[in-house]
Structure 1
């Protein structure tokens, strides 16, 4: 089930803050990139920014030439494979269950050529695994949670550096939620400023 969310700016920083939202692949053995899923800019005090956290994903493959396969809808528990077809060249197909019901598996079943595997939510990239060689499987496991914080010079859809990730350290659990507000407080100029905080309010249980 899709989760309806609404960012609410109650901070003392006006519309100067850039709020970054992303997810982490919890499989520490899979060195995938954390990508800025959403960057909220120019959202003034008492203003809101609604968005949706979808239940599933879309998967696309890109190669060294900058080509992307059509995005294929996917969900946890599925395995997708990039295969070679006589007419269409590279094609992404459903090929069975994943190794676990909580993960999404994507296999490079081509005979040659490494590729990057890109994962999307709500039309925006949320994660990627680069340089997946033939015969290698990329595994993605995302908990129903978002990481959120204030950062600068972060581009939506681009990887987040480890230094920036260390500053974006608030985890928002979405488990069992149908809709909620993510309320930002804190900030402000001068010595009286406080740390930014993010809390869920107006929660509707699923």
Structure 2
């Protein structure tokens, strides 16, 4: 079931900061870079920004020739493979993967690396690049989002590790149908406090 979220700016921000929302791929090593899934811009004091966080995700792949496959509905526990068919490279569902918690994408092309990407709401959520033939990418996401403030971030682009390390608010969406995300803190001068994000008005699923 999709989760209805509503970001509300109750902060003292005076620099019109961008609010970044993303998920971390926990299937791989700790230093994997995350993608800015959503960037909320120009949301002034008292403004709100409603959005839907879907449970469903989609997988796509691109090859070394610059071709992109259509997005396929992706389910945890499933394996998808990039194959050379009579019409060219194609991403196909290939049965069960090796973990029930992961979406796995294997490069079954005879040559050439591929990139694999996961999407939610049509927006890039995570990506893995340079997957060599017979190698696979693995994606696993906890039912949480990470949220924080940054600048000069482009939605859909990979963020550098310095930005990611500065964003340390993780909000669990487990069992939630809808909620407000309240941003507080910030402000000018020595009395300013760090930005904080809290879930309020939670409706359980």
Per the shorter chain, which TM-score range?
A: over 0.9
C-alpha contact 1:15 1:43 (8 A) present in aligned 2: no
Query: Aligned to 1:5, what secondary structure does the other structure show?
Result: strand
Counterpart secondary structure, 1:34:
coil
Report what 1:50 is aligned to: 50
**Partner residue in 2 for 1:21:** 21
Deviation, structure 1 residue 29:
3.6
Superposed CA RMSD in Å reads 1.4
- TM-score between the two structures when normalised by the length of structure 1: 0.95
Q: Is the 8 A contact 2:144 2:171 kept in 1?
A: yes
Deviation at 1:31? 6.6
How many residues align? The count is 205
Residues 146 and 61 of structure 1, relative CA distance in 2, 3 Å threshold: same
Which residue matches 2:63?
63
Q: Structure 1 stretches (4+) deviating beyond 3 angstroms? A: 28-33
The 5 Å alignment of 1:152-171 reads: 152-171=151-170
Query: Which aligned pairs between 1:72-111 and structure 2 lie closer than 5 A?
Result: 72-87=72-87, 89-111=88-110
CA distance in 2, matches of 1:30, 1:151: 21
Judged with a 3 Å threshold, the aligned counterparts in structure 2 of structure 1 residues 107 and 32 are, in CA distance, closer, same or farther, namely farther
User: What does residue 193 of structure 2 align with?
Assistant: 194
What TM-score, normalized by structure 2, do the two folds share? 0.95
Unaligned runs of 5+ in 1: none
Tell me, in whole angstroms, the C-alpha distance in 2 between the residues paired with 1:74 and 1:201. Answer: 30
**Cα drift, residue 6 of structure 1:** 0.9
Q: Which SS does the other structure have where 2:163 is aligned?
A: helix
CA contact (8 A) 1:113 1:133 kept: yes
Query: Relative to structure 1, is the Cα distance of residues 15 and 178 closer, same or farther in structure 2, using a 3 angstrom cutoff?
Result: farther
Q: Confirm whether residue 39 of structure 1 aligns to residue 50 of structure 2.
A: no
| Cα separation, 1, equivalents of 2:64 and 2:187 | 44
Distance 1:120 1:146 in 2: 14
Q: Which runs of 5+ in 2 are unaligned?
A: none
